[in-house]
């Protein structure tokens, strides 16, 4: 008679069993089982609405809700193993419900389709995860700000093209990342208004003739808005794309920070000593201490970018409305959520414990003629046009390079040969701290500027 497909909620019109290979190929429960809590929460509210609207009787609804709560417990305790033949977590829960309460369980899916149910679960899930990501960003920002306070007066060379450019405070450096992360945080927060929209009630693609109350459902589930077009609702995945894009940008930022820690911990730089607890050794070279955690953050950025591209390609060219391709959204989403949250945590841990070799940094800050711009600005103050000053100082640098001496070690007479307007007061200008604290324009690296911004951050993160 009828085979396994009868077991399936949609088995009615089928006369052949689903091919075993097709079952394996089409199932998604191995991954969407993660949505079980959201699925049950959504189903309970849906059921309450059906009762309120008189679409199902309250004794029926009570039974369904009771059983749904039991199923939640069963899943939590590992007593309920989803069956891949039932494709996804949604049909697994429904089948278990009917198994528990009998045919009345079949009333739960009234005025609902898996198409709106899946998006509901994803939206409920994602809004919580966005909040968790934002917390993770806050935590990392806090770690950076604590270290910035500690290193307000530590100096290091600032780089452009990875060549010594101008000296900066270490606090300024670390706060640059705090600012970067703040834009990431804002992007996630902003995305919430598009995630937090209630899709339930869209049905398969066109709404339902039954007298449902979408506003009540939305309110009960804490959604400030209801989606206004059923077709758009079931085919929209841009709320996930947006999350994946925001996550990819954040991961790219983390990978830049990670790369810096890798480079800075090499003996060639020797700016930091990474904590042993965040490094690993080599199975062959006994002397090795490798910055694997930073390398993996850098490496896992590939996944985050890949997940974004993967879903973009899935959605590209899909006609309205729901298409099964959309089932492919989940792995990308879950993987990025996990990767991003973990990366934020390990980066925070690493910055909390990293040892900054400030003496080495300061020594290097003086190398590479990082005070050359200060000399040019000094000449500008004496009335020399900046372009001429630039040329003179360039010549003086070439001369000093030849002598293998820094600018500040050149005797005044020698400097005067190239820059005649230089006076004794030039030596003060050429001092490292003078250069750093001279850059007091808004957003500059001078102590007053950095300290002011640091205070703003300390205040903002106080209650984070
Ligand atoms: N497993 C599917 C998914 O996650 C559920 C939706 C199925 N809808 C359908 N009409 N086949 O996308």
pLDDT at 281: 85
What average pLDDT does this structure show over 173-180? Answer: 98
User: Across residues 92-107, what is the average pLDDT?
Assistant: 97
**Helices 386-403 and 372-381, packing angle to 10 deg:** 140
Q: pLDDT tens for residues 405-449? A: 999 999 999 999 999 999 999 999 999 999 999 999 999 999 999
Does the pLDDT at position 61 exceed 70? yes
List the alpha helices (DSSP H) in 200-291. Answer: 214-220, 230-235, 238-264
Pick from 23, 89, 114, 231 the residue to mutate for probing ligand 1's pocket: most ligand atoms within 8 Å of its CB. Answer: 114
Structure tokens, 408: 């500040």
Backbone phi, psi, residue 423, to 5°: -120, 180
Give the pLDDT score at 5.
56
For the Cβ of 449 lying below 6 angstroms from any atom of ligand 1, the answer is: no
Q: Is 87 left (phi over 0), alpha (psi -120 to 50) or beta?
A: left
pLDDT at 6 over 80: no
* Class of CATH domain 115-207+221-363: mainly alpha
Please tell me which residue in 15, 161, 283, 441 is annotated as part of the active site.
161
Which pLDDT score is estimated for 286?
Answer: 84
- pLDDT number for residue 10: 84
Q: Does ligand 1 have an atom closer than 6 angstroms to the CB of 39?
A: no
The model's pTM: 0.94
User: Cα of 203 to ligand 1 centre, how many Å?
Assistant: 12
The mean per-residue pLDDT over the stretch 317-340 comes to: 98
| Residue bearing the CA closest to ligand 1, atom 4 | 327
Residue 282: predicted pLDDT? 81
Query: What phi and psi values does residue 355 have, to the nearest 5 degrees?
Result: -100, 120
Using the predicted structure, report yes or no on whether residue 305 has a pLDDT greater than 60.
Answer: yes
> Would you state the structure tokens that stand for residue 318, as one six-digit string?
């899909």
Q: How far is C-alpha 105 from the chain's CA centre?
A: 40
- Please say if 282 is a catalytic residue: yes
Instruction: Report the distance separating Cα 236 and Cα 243, nearest Å.
Output: 13
Q: 168's torsion region: left (phi>0), alpha (psi -120 to 50) or beta?
A: beta
Place of tokens 């679960």: 121
In the chain, which segments carry CATH 1.20.200.10?
115-207+221-363
Token pair for 392: 């003179």
CB 109 less than 6 A from any atom of ligand 1:
no
Residue among 312, 343, 340, 336 at smallest CA distance from 325: 312
pLDDT grade, residue 457 (50/70/90)? Answer: very high
- Identified catalytic residue from 58, 266, 270, 282: 282
Confidence at residue 11, expressed as pLDDT on a 0 to 100 scale: 83
Instruction: State the distance from the centre of ligand 1 to the C-alpha of 117, rounded, in angstroms.
Output: 9
- Tell whether the torsion through CA atoms of 377, 379, 381 and 383 is positive or negative: negative
Segment 379-396, tens digit of pLDDT = 999 999 999 999 999 999
Portions of the chain given CATH number 1.10.40.30: 372-430
- 372-430 to CATH, choices 2.40.50.140, 3.90.1170.50, 1.10.40.30, 1.20.1270.360: 1.10.40.30
Answer whether 322 contacts ligand 1 (Cβ < 6 A). Answer: yes
Q: pLDDT, tens digit, for every residue of 123-160?
A: 999 999 999 999 999 999 999 999 999 999 999 999 99
* The pLDDT of residue 314: 98
CA of 390 to the centre of ligand 1 (A): 66
Regarding the domain delimited by 4-110, which CATH topology (the fold level of the hierarchy) does it fall under?
Answer: Fumarase C; Chain B, domain 1 (1.10.275)
Phi, psi of 254 (to 5 degrees): -60, -35
273 closest CA partner among 151, 152, 158, 357: 357
Please say if the pLDDT value at position 362 is more than 70: yes
Ligand 1 centroid to residue 280 C-alpha, Å: 43
- Ligand 1 centroid to Cα of residue 202, in Å, is 14
Return the DSSP state at 169. Answer: E
| Residue 288 confidence (pLDDT) above 70 | yes
When mean pLDDT is compared across 81-85, 283-287, 391-395, 441-445, the lowest value belongs to 283-287
pLDDT band for 1, please (50, 70, 90 cuts): very low
Is 390 a catalytic site residue? Answer: no
């Amino acid at each position: 008679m009828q085979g396994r497909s009868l077991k399936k909620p949609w088995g009615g019109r089928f006369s052949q069993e689903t091919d075993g290979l097709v079952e394996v190929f089409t199932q998604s429960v191995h991954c969407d089982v993660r949505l079980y809590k959201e699925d049950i929460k959504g189903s309970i509210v849906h059921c309450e609405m059906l009762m309120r609207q008189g679409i199902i009787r309250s004794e029926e609804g009570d039974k369904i809700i009771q059983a749904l709560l039991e199923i939640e417990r069963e899943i939590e305790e590992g007593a309920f193993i989803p069956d891949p033949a039932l494709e996804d977590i949604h049909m697994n829960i429904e089948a278990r419900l009917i198994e528990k309460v009998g045919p009345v369980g079949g009333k739960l899916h009234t005025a609902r389709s898996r198409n709106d149910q899946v998006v509901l679960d994803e939206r409920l899930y994602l809004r919580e995860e966005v909040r968790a990501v934002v917390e993770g960003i806050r935590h990392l920002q806090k770690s950076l700000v604590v270290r910035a306070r500690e290193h307000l007066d530590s100096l290091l060379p600032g780089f452009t093209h990875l060549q010594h450019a101008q000296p900066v405070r270490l606090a300024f450096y670390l706060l640059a990342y705090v600012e970067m992360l703040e834009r990431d945080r804002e992007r996630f927060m902003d995305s919430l208004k598009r995630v937090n929209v209630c899709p339930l009630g869209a049905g398969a693609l066109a709404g339902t003739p039954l007298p449902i109350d979408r506003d009540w459902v939305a309110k009960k589930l804490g959604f400030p808005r209801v989606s206004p077009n059923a077709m758009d609702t079931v085919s929209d995945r841009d709320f996930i794309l947006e999350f994946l894009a925001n996550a990819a940008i954040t991961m790219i930022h983390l990978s830049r920070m990670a790369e810096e820690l890798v480079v800075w911990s090499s003996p060639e730089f020797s700016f930091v000593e990474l904590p042993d607890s965040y490094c690993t050794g080599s199975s062959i070279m006994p002397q090795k201490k490798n910055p694997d955690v930073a390398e993996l953050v850098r490496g896992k950025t590939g996944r985050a970018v890949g997940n974004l591209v993967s879903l973009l390609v899935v959605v590209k060219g899909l006609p309205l409305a729901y298409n099964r391709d959309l089932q492919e959204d989940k792995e990308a989403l879950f993987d990025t959520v996990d990767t991003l949250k973990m990366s934020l945590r390990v980066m925070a841990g690493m910055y909390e414990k990293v040892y900054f070799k400030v003496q080495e940094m300061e020594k290097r800050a003086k190398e590479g003629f990082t005070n050359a711009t200060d000399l040019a600005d000094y000449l500008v103050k004496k009335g020399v046009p900046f372009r001429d000053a630039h040329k003179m100082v360039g010549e003086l640098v070439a001369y000093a390079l030849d002598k293998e001496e820094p600018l500040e070690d050149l005797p005044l007479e020698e400097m005067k040969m190239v820059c005649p307007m230089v006076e004794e007061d030039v030596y003060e200008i050429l001092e490292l701290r003078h250069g750093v604290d001279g850059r007091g324009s808004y957003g500059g690296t001078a102590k007053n500027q950095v300290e002011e911004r640091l205070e703003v951050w300390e205040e903002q993160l106080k209650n984070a």
